[in-house]
Structure 1
Amino acid sequence: MRRIHDFHGGIHPAEHKSDSMAQPIQPAGVPDVLVLPTGQHIGNSALPTVAPGQRVLGGEEIAEADGALSVPCHAPTSGTVLAVEDRPVPHPSGLSALCIVLQPDGRDEWAEPRPFANPMNADPLLLTQHIQQAGIAGMGGAGFPTAVKLSPRPGKPIQTLIINGTECEPYITADDSLMRERAAAVISGSLILAHVLGNPTVLLGIEDNKPEAIAALKDAATGSGVEIVVFPTKYPSGGEKQLIEILLGAQVPSGALPADIGVVCQNVGTAAAVHHAVVNGRPLVSRITTVTGEAVSRPGNYEVLLGTPIRHLLALAGYDASVNQRLVMGGPMMGFTVSDPDCPIIKTSNCLLLPTEAELPTPPPPQACIRCGLCAEACPASLLPQQLFWYSRGRDHERLEAHNLFDCIECGACAYVCPSHIPLVQYYRASKAEIIAQRQDAERAEHARQRFEARQERIERQAREKAERREARKRAAEAKATAATGDDKDSDPIQAAIERAQARKAALADAGSKD
């Protein structure tokens, strides 16, 4: 038995998971229109490669990756591109972004798949490129491009691959249903990921509140070398650094990445997507999304084409707008409110939460901090939330960074236990955004300074070179004149002309005297 460790803090909120697990995964079907944002992950948005009026096949690339920290976008089915324009997207800012609007034609015709015949013997570099070209990004969190995680820095070998099946946030059961019903795909994808990373130890971590998924995974993993590790339920054990501490007893240093200590983490949904991309040749064009809350009559888990408008899913789940207070993308702890139901499902959309007011009451007005310290006890990152709150209010960015603000995973545990109902995470998010904006401004200013100095240096160099060429020409002319003149004045053309003029004048004078 592998020893299980614990991490600091954490909470035990009500789970509310049973309602959405009453039925198996259901297909969400094909909506009338698909809206595909070119940016569905952390990093650079993809660059559209199609134009309005163009017909595309399912699985065809419609936006190419823009650099290493980017992944392409593919058509989820066959149809015609209606537009390439800004549309509302699911994001806490509520802003619009560039999207490719596709009208399905109902034929569901697909481009030729490109699977690997024997992936476990394939070149890891070719597999990594294939995973990147399949558009796969992390499907359990912020959506970090998977291929980047599979390319550790030289001299940093990976000893452990952790597959995250924790899904610790209340209400969300997308990964649970995936592990129950498609455990073989999860294990297959995990082994492919391990092969790419040089065959490290593979641990699949899962909380003990998922007995059916645990049984399915253990059965699928028999003889594979993948170790299924079960541990007690506590939120947020699904955080990358928290899960590493649970399974390995190791902590990722502040400001470092798991790869710095020889660990790579991937979500079970990502592992299944890798299986489909490599074994079946199918790019990432759909995902499982939980639709739940007391405002829907048919909660459950749906396999949804990327780009499907939220409104389409709400109709399938029996949504009652009269009792719903707000639409939440994600869970109650880390999710965010979506104001427009026409926003699409994207690669990171693991849950739509439709609560009633009684189920998820509107938070009361915040009161003054009473310095109780409960937030520090609950913080899984061992931070000091109270101090971070004060520094955030005072916009003291230097002290915020000194107190490791960016180690905050925004799990919401501090706000959950706060008796004063202070929205602590909102302060931290705002401060992070301000600091990042300041860094970007400073980088742009430094870049502008370097460009100005380079331009000034270039102008000065060109002026020096021009002056040097002018001086060289002058010296050459002087040298040529000196060489032609020497000590012989007869060879001087000016002197010769003067002498000829004087001779003519003397001849004219002689002629006049004879007359």
Structure 2
Amino acid sequence: MKLLSFKLGIHPPERKESTEHLKVEKAVEPKIVTIPLQQHIGAACEPLVKVGDIVKLGQKIGEPQGFVSAAVHSSVSGTVKAIAEKPAASGGEVLSVVIESDGNNEIDPSIQPKGDITSLDPKEIINIIKDAGIVGMGGAAFPTHVKLSPPPDKKVDLIILNGAECEPYLTADHRLMLENPEDIIYGLKAMMKATGVKNAIIGIENNKMDAVKVMHEAVQKEEGIKVAVLQTKYPQGAEKQLIYACTKKEVPSGGLPMDVGVIVNNVATAAQIAKTIKTGMPLIDRITTVAGKCIKNPKNLLVKVGVSIKEVIDQCDGYKEKPGKIIMGGPMMGLAQYTDEVALTKGSSGVIVFDEKEATTPDPSNCIRCSRCIQICPAFLRPVQIAENSAHNMMENAEKYRALDCIECGSCSYICPSKLPLLHSIRVAKRSILAKKRQQKG
């Protein structure tokens, strides 16, 4: 069997064995949820509720502000206790709605099945996805209705579903493919109809051959849909790398997947689209892998948006010992958290907890000019040059070295023998460059 892949990259230890064979468990109903009004790329939502309001399960509580935004809904029924700034998974604080559950999960009257994709037209499908607040559930959390609405001059002819799940530890998508392939295919077909696309590929790494088998069987009778087996390598699930692996097309510098006629979405996003069309329920819960040496009993949990990290860890019987680092997402691209009171969001694919020994970062030493970061960079950048210019606040030079093309996979920091925090420096450069561009626009 020929395995598809991209150029360069790395192969960190997979460390999926603690959860890859564990079925998804439904988490215990929360007593309280803290739902951020911005848990997606784009503009934050404006609250539609006030303190003291009674809300229902699935009720819209946050109104999008702009096209690139996503509605926010209540994941419980109960009473709004506060609307305040709360710790955010992305760092800092974000305006959030705190809801005390009444335990009844009374569904909002607006939640009704949307019909069947055969009877829905493309515009109706996109509006259903938009109203449900569906975003990319692989971690990026980009509003899905935006991806499915390319401008007229961009002719899209292929959808790729990302089932690679290349991050170490994470197995949420793996279990979803094994346990609910029908919804993945249904949601994919809805996306195909919404965009008029006739062909689709589901990309899965070859460390999940059981999922390859299940998904291959699920598409046997589906016209235009096939499964591609990918080499297990990091970052195989990154958009541009996945597109190259499946099609050998290269997204141009500064470009988007639609520039080569492709839309990429996550398998979990497809499954949520199916759930919303069939039941009317918006995106209020997701599968999250809870793992790491510091977790007593790692699990794949179906958790509600707004539940705290501490609560999901308690459902895994707590910490084995004092945690050294808590990461939202995977260890390569995820973000370290300063408190376990942070709420899980639509993009929370994993919670990984390292012990103090694992969390210890070696002191960096001088660059030895080995060029290993250049040799493995999947975006064909010179990470050390970008990082050096960033460290000296020479952002124009960093931009000349194509800092904005960095996909923030962390491969350079991982491979660096001098343990230089290359990714952190590159992130600083990207944010500075983008901030300056926004200022220039006015």
Aligned partners of 1:392 and 1:400 also within 8 Å: yes
Residue 357 of structure 1 aligns with which residue? Answer: 356
Q: Does 1:104 align with 2:101?
A: yes
Residue 284 of structure 1 aligns with which residue? Answer: 283
Supply the distance in 2 between the matched residues of 1:99 and 1:386 (Cα, whole angstroms).
Answer: 38
Supply the distance in 1 between the matched residues of 2:336 and 2:232 (Cα, whole angstroms).
Answer: 26
Residue 66 of structure 1 aligns with which residue? Answer: 65
Q: Deviations over 1:99-138 (max 9, x none)?
A: 0011110111102323222213311011101100001011
Aligned partners of 1:166 and 1:207 also within 8 Å: yes
Residue 200 of structure 1 aligns with which residue? Answer: 198
Supply the distance in 1 between the matched residues of 2:73 and 2:319 (Cα, whole angstroms).
Answer: 33
Q: Deviations over 1:29-71 (max 9, x none)?
A: 2212100000000001111101111111111111111111111
Supply the distance in 1 between the matched residues of 2:3 and 2:156 (Cα, whole angstroms).
Answer: 21
Greater displacement, 5-14 / 198-207: 5-14
TM-fit CA distance, 1:4: 5.5
Residue 407 of structure 1 aligns with which residue? Answer: 405
Aligned partners of 2:373 and 2:384 also within 8 Å: yes
Aligned residues: 440
Aligned partners of 2:3 and 2:231 also within 8 Å: no
Aligned partners of 2:115 and 2:278 also within 8 Å: yes
Supply the distance in 2 between the matched residues of 1:199 and 1:405 (Cα, whole angstroms).
Answer: 33
Supply the distance in 2 between the matched residues of 1:242 and 1:388 (Cα, whole angstroms).
Answer: 21
Aligned partners of 2:4 and 2:246 also within 8 Å: yes
Greater displacement, 209-218 / 159-168: 209-218
Supply the distance in 2 between the matched residues of 1:398 and 1:356 (Cα, whole angstroms).
Answer: 39
Q: CA RMSD in A?
A: 1.4
Partner amino acid for 2:277?
V
Supply the distance in 1 between the matched residues of 2:322 and 2:108 (Cα, whole angstroms).
Answer: 43
Partner amino acid for 2:83?
V
Residue 246 of structure 1 aligns with which residue? Answer: 245
Aligned partners of 1:22 and 1:300 also within 8 Å: no
TM-score by length of 2: 0.97
Q: Which has the higher helix share?
A: 1
Aligned partners of 2:5 and 2:231 also within 8 Å: no
Residue 209 of structure 1 aligns with which residue? Answer: 207
Aligned partners of 2:330 and 2:352 also within 8 Å: yes
Residue 345 of structure 1 aligns with which residue? Answer: 344
TM-fit CA distance, 1:361: 4.3
TM-score by length of 1: 0.83
4+ residue segments displaced more than 6 Å:
none
Residue 184 of structure 2 aligns with which residue? Answer: 186
Q: Deviations over 1:124-178 (max 9, x none)?
A: 0111011000010111132110000000111222111000000001011111111
Q: Deviations over 1:310-341 (max 9, x none)?
A: 11101011222634211111111111211111
Aligned partners of 2:287 and 2:303 also within 8 Å: yes
TM-fit CA distance, 1:7: 2.2
Q: Which has the higher strand share?
A: 2
List runs of 5+ in structure 2 lacking aligned partners: none
Residue 163 of structure 1 aligns with which residue? Answer: 161
Aligned partners of 1:5 and 1:248 also within 8 Å: no
List runs of 5+ in structure 1 lacking aligned partners: 445-515
Q: Which has the larger radius of gyration?
A: 1
Q: Secondary structure at the match of 2:150?
A: coil
Supply the distance in 2 between the matched residues of 1:393 and 1:330 (Cα, whole angstroms).
Answer: 27
Residue 80 of structure 2 aligns with which residue? Answer: 81
1:151 to 144, 149, 152: 149
Supply the distance in 2 between the matched residues of 1:23 and 1:261 (Cα, whole angstroms).
Answer: 38
Aligned partners of 1:119 and 1:279 also within 8 Å: no
User: How is 1:227-242 mapped onto 2 (pairs within 5 angstroms)?
Assistant: 227-242=226-241
